[in-house]
Amino acid sequence: METWKQSKAVFWTLATPGTLWLAIFFVAPLAIIWGLSFAEKTSIVDTEITGTLSNYIRALGTPVYLKIIWKSIWISALATLMCLIIAFPIAFVVAFAPDKWKPILLMAVILPFWINLLIRTYALISVFRTRGFVNFGLEWLWDGANSILAFIGLGPAVLGAFEPLQMLYNNFAVIAGLVYVYMPFMVLPLYATIERLDKSFLEASLDLGASQARTFWSVVFPLTMPGIVSGIILVFIPCLGSFLTPDLLGGTNATMIGNVIERQFKAANDWPFGAALSFLLMYATFGALALRSLFAGRKSGMEV
């Protein structure tokens, strides 16, 4: 690697286009939103940046919005936890699979991630809706049970008519959707750390008489902590900012911050308030990233 002073012309040619693009079309838009979050509406179309904190106060002080923020946090936390519980065994199996199988299994984990988020959510709708596959299967079982009961002489339709389960437009649907959509984000960092794990630690632990469970909690779990933290952040942040999943699967019953932001920028036309909510989301993201770098820094310091 050379220092930039050795060939300044090449350095600047390479550095300028990307940096400028990001500065103009990424940093400037975010700066505008940041400014807007301290603005007030002066008329239907005009806003004026007055340095007011009223938008943040409204977001964090109004019970309605506080409730939505709190709900977004616990829905995201629950979805992240479920992702972790499901992804850990998968990552483990993939990491310990024979070399021949590894790429295939990894591909199987990654592939759904490449399928459009909207399409995957739509696929879930047709599974969960009142006339969807889950209810259809349940109805089939229900009718089967009914006719068996009728056959053994308990009279017709003992169980009564089938009542379809309402699985869409509630918190359950949103959590299931988030787990479904963001699971690959959890598997990959877990896989990466388990793969790099020195297998002889596990062997040593097992040889010295620890059970598989003990080995997992005392050896695997602490050693894969960086991967777990990365996975949690990679899933939690997009969950917290998700808009499509709660919109399509949650309806009006499971509104999250993302939906409120969308409403402020579209229907409600209150951009300053929407901007303040977006920046609360950004602060949360930065906080999470800072936590991770703090964690990663301490870890690498230990290993050296």
Partner 1 sequence: MSEIAGTNKAASPGGRAIAGPRGRRMTIGPLEYGRRFWLRCFVAATFLLLYAPIFTLIIFSFNDSRRNIVWRGFTFKYYEKAWNNDGLFEAFTNSLTIAVLTTIIATILGAMVALLLWRYRFPGKPAYEGFMALPIVIPEICMGVAMLAFFSRIGWPSGMPWPLNLSAITIAHIAFTFPFVAIVVRARMAGFNRELEEASKDLGASEWQTFMNVIVPFMRPGLIAGALLAFTLSLDDFVITFFTAGPETVTFPVKVYSMVRFSVTPEVNAASTALIVITVLATIVAMRFQTPDKTEAT
Residue 112 in the binding site for partner 1 (CB under 8 A): yes
Q: For partner 1, which residue of 57, 108, 145, 294 counts as binding (CB under 8 A)? A: 108
Residue 81 in the binding site for partner 1 (CB under 8 A): no
Distance, C-alpha 130 to centroid of its chain: 26
**Which residues, at least 6 apart from 261, have a Cβ–Cβ distance to it below 8 Å?**
243, 274, 277, 278, 281
CA distance 70 to 214: 35
Q: For partner 1, which residue of 4, 74, 217, 221 counts as binding (CB under 8 A)? A: 4
Q: For partner 1, which residue of 43, 51, 63, 131 counts as binding (CB under 8 A)? A: 131
Alpha helices of 42-62 — where are they, by DSSP H?
Answer: 54-61
Residue 230 tokens read as 């990365």
CA distance 17 to 4: 16
Contact pattern from residue 143 through residue 182 relative to partner 1, giving x for each residue in contact according to CB under 8 A and a dash for the rest: -------------------------------------x--
Q: Which is nearer to partner 1, 250 or 274 (CB)?
A: 274
Distances in Å between the Cα of 302 and the Cα atoms of 108, 201, 221, 228, 296 are 35, 17, 17, 17, 10
Residue 273 in the binding site for partner 1 (CB under 8 A): no
| Residue 91: closest CA among 197, 215, 178, 180 | 197
With contact defined as beta carbons under 8 Å apart, do 47 and 271 qualify?
Answer: yes
CA distance 191 to 16: 36
Map the footprint of partner 1 across residues 184-223, applying CB under 8 A: 199, 202-203, 206, 212
In the DSSP assignment, the letter for residue 7 is: G
| Residue 50: closest CA among 31, 68, 36 | 36
Q: Which is nearer to partner 1, 24 or 158 (CB)?
A: 24
Residue 132 in the binding site for partner 1 (CB under 8 A): yes
Q: For partner 1, which residue of 60, 81, 82, 282 counts as binding (CB under 8 A)? A: 282
The 3-state DSSP class for residue 117 equals helix
Distances in Å between the Cα of 223 and the Cα atoms of 31, 198, 201, 234, 242 are 40, 9, 10, 19, 31
Q: Which is nearer to partner 1, 168 or 228 (CB)?
A: 168
Single-letter code of the amino acid located at 286: F
Residue 267 in the binding site for partner 1 (CB under 8 A): no
Nearest approach in angstroms of CB 288 to partner 1 is 9
Residue 285 in the binding site for partner 1 (CB under 8 A): yes
Q: Which is nearer to partner 1, 20 or 154 (CB)?
A: 20
Nearest approach in angstroms of CB 137 to partner 1 is 3
Map the footprint of partner 1 across residues 10-49, applying CB under 8 A: 10-11, 13-15, 17-18, 21-22, 25-26, 28-30, 32-33, 36
Residue 2 in the binding site for partner 1 (CB under 8 A): yes
Q: For partner 1, which residue of 186, 190, 240, 276 counts as binding (CB under 8 A)? A: 240
Q: Which is nearer to partner 1, 61 or 89 (CB)?
A: 89
Nearest approach in angstroms of CB 153 to partner 1 is 27
Residue 237 in the binding site for partner 1 (CB under 8 A): yes
